[in-house]
Amino acid sequence: MPVRLAPIAKITRLRTHQAFPRKRLFTQLDHLRRHPVIWVSGPPGSGKTTLVSNYLDARKLPCLWYHG
């Protein structure tokens, strides 16, 4: 059986070098890091992907990125 690989767009994290840091939301995410998984939800275009990508960059955290 052939091996199926995920498309690169599904596993490549957005890089946002010019985005505005959301200090209040970063602090909330800092407090939630004691949990093994954090779920971020909101309407389309609300900045979820940008927030999480910026947070990971700012805190220099490793991650597994999958965009479903």
* Model pLDDT for residues 53-63, shown as the tens digit of each residue: 899 989 999 88
> CB of 53 within 8 A of CB of 40?
no
Structural domain boundaries enclosing 41: 8-59
Q: How many domains does the chain have?
A: 1
Mean pLDDT (the chain) is: 83
Residue 57, φ and ψ in degrees, nearest 5: -65, -45
65 belongs to a structural domain:
no
14 belongs to a structural domain:
yes
3 belongs to a structural domain:
no
1 belongs to a structural domain:
no
40 belongs to a structural domain:
yes
Structure tokens at 4: 């199926």
68 belongs to a structural domain:
no
pTM comes to: 0.73
> CB of 42 within 8 A of CB of 48?
yes
> CB of 9 within 8 A of CB of 59?
no
> CB of 50 within 8 A of CB of 19?
yes
